[in-house]
Chain A
């Protein structure tokens, strides 16, 4: 979780929605989509590998040609099989950031940025090279050869390069997937800062639910080349019916909270979530700041009485609302009402029977502080 910056309204996007309505068949794979996403904020394109996320993004960019259908960004038709419209990629104003960055090895970092800046859209933006260099902290890298950059540095340069074309829409293809966990933590604040600072509508491909929960205003869930669902991220994360597609252990809830106080010595931050206090690893940023907490069902245990002598920091009283069979035999999903929010817990059937859990019972939800991600 992290500080959720107030995203600027979509003042930069001069169109309202990206309409994707097409069919694309390849030898071993088919993608059929019919969906419209608002062109503002961050829309996560989420799904297992092979579900068609990258193909969808490439079709929007113009790197894959659908067999039939349309891709319309606001008032601009980028592809329409009926009228044989197929705007070439370099005229689509879609900034594609590749997973493998594809920095130009014959140019240094400054040269890579200049390549993009020279071709920037005239009417986009409200920001210039200096803003991008500052936001992504690229100044120390400018004279470096691209071959000498670390993975995280390459991603920062690639993002900066893409931003400098002042695209109408940013297409990010798993920008963090190639990085180790530690490097991810280094670049996440830059990515998050840049997305909110420059306010460019973004499609963000990811298969990491924590990334999605952290950035995305909306989610588009793909499964086997079909759109399974789309909607605001918190609702999507709560929907039990989508959980098979989201991964076995990724069920959980996304809660909006406010930073109450922090303890620098213990490196802890307390967050108020609708009347409950939850201790999480230290969050930087101002008190009172809005944060999103993602609590995975597998990280929540239940107790029928308040436990004593326990290492778990967060013991939250509540009422058990419902028990539903999990997606695998032997597991049960529990929904618990806290003060004003609900939390999910994933339990074994054995535990449910031993504790005699039933809807209506008073329980304590136990959440380990260390279970919160980056």
Chain B
């Protein structure tokens, strides 16, 4: 069996999850704490990838990332490599289509904290940043666990956007879901079975791990 797609998939999911932790956490925190009137708009934008058909998302990403677009052109200038049909392009696409899976669990975890811990931290002379790092984050441990797992597994499972933006280039964009599709198309059911069963087992083990970890966090901790 060709292990290439498996490693590529794990790499893509890891990079996407780490990237979204860095990008999505501030967005989620802002959404949870803001009183701004722009909140519904930002909320809607971050939720769009949930409701759009992957083909719609993939189509616009293809247009936006193509070498003739400003973003794609700039990237081509900078790196000498096109964003479409490349691993980098897949990462950009994944960051966008997995965004809600990071932002939404985090935002609801932060929101569930209420004002109490923040006022308590402020009354103890902690700055808003210190309150975030030392109070909000540890108290939202469950939310982080959920967000990380959802983002990681959703990135592994995405098919439509990947196919449109990345195509099917071995070692570059050919992730597990694409490989399975190709195996089925070419009637190589044994290979399709191996990869599919692998995904089922992997997903099951991840979920068992999550529920086991969840029991370890006392309920009042996030």
B-binding residues in A (CB < 8 A): 61-63, 88-91, 93-98, 100, 102-106, 115-116, 119-121, 147, 161-162, 165
Contact = CB atoms under 8 A, between A and B. Distances in A.
Given A104-B117, A104-B135, A115 B218 contact: no
Given A63-B119, A89-B119, A96-B119, A105 B139 contact: yes
Is the contact region of chain B dominated by helix, strand, or loop, or is it mixed?
helix
B134 interface: yes
Contact of A104 (B119, B120, B122, B128): B120
Interface of B: 115-117, 119-128, 130-131, 134-135, 138-139, 141, 218, 220-221
A103 B138 CA distance: 14
Contacts, number: 71
A115 B124 contact: yes
Nearest to A97: B123
Contacts of B131: 90
B221 A105 contact: yes
Contacts of A89: 119, 122-123
A121 B138 CA distance: 25
B120 A98 contact: yes
A147 B221 CA distance: 10
A33 B195 CA distance: 71
A100 B120 CA distance: 10
Given A96-B123, A119-B125, A147-B218, 19 more contacts: A61-B119, A63-B122, A88-B128, A89-B119, A89-B122, A89-B123, A90-B125, A90-B126, A90-B128, A91-B125, A94-B123, A98-B120, A104-B117, A106-B139, A106-B221, A116-B124, A116-B125, A120-B125, A165-B125
Nearest to B115: A63
B125 A102 contact: no
B101 to A, nearest CB: 25
Nearest to B119: A63
Contacts of B218: 105, 147
Nearest to B127: A90
A175 to B, nearest CB: 13
A263 B131 CA distance: 53
A123 to B, nearest CB: 13
A104 B139 CA distance: 8
A344 B86 CA distance: 90
Nearest to A58: B119
A91 B116 CA distance: 18
Interface-central residue, B123, B126, B138, B139, by most chain A CB under 10 Å: B123
B120 A102 contact: yes
A294 to B, nearest CB: 31
B122 A115 contact: no
A94 B120 CA distance: 11
Interface-central residue, B115, B121, B122, B126, by most chain A CB under 10 Å: B122
Nearest to A101: B120
Interface-central residue, A103, A115, A121, by most chain B CB under 10 Å: A115
12 contacts: A61-B119, A61-B123, A88-B122, A89-B119, A90-B127, A90-B131, A91-B125, A93-B125, A95-B123, A98-B123, A102-B119, A162-B124
A88 B141 CA distance: 27
Contact of A105 (B115, B125, B220): B220
Contacts of A95: 123-124
A214 B16 CA distance: 61
A305 B68 CA distance: 109
B139 to A, nearest CB: 6
A98 B220 CA distance: 18
B33 to A, nearest CB: 14
B55 to A, nearest CB: 43
B124 A161 contact: yes
A102 B126 contact: no
Contacts of A165: 123-125
Contacts of B124: 90, 95, 115-116, 119, 161-162, 165
Nearest to B140: A106
Which 9 pairs between the two chains have the least Cβ-Cβ distance? A102-B120, A96-B123, A89-B122, A119-B125, A90-B122, A106-B138, A116-B124, A105-B220, A90-B125
A95 B123 CA distance: 6
A93 B134 CA distance: 20
Interface-central residue, A89, A120, A161, A162, by most chain B CB under 10 Å: A89
Contacts of B221: 105-106
Nearest to A98: B120
Contacts of A91: 125
A7 to B, nearest CB: 24
A116 B139 CA distance: 17
A296 B108 CA distance: 51
B119 A98 contact: yes
B126 A115 contact: yes
A165 B121 CA distance: 11
A63 B127 CA distance: 14
Contacts of A121: 125
Contacts of B138: 106
Nearest to A61: B123
A170 B49 CA distance: 49
Nearest to A62: B122
Contacts of A62: 122
A147 B218 CA distance: 10
Contacts of A119: 124-126, 130
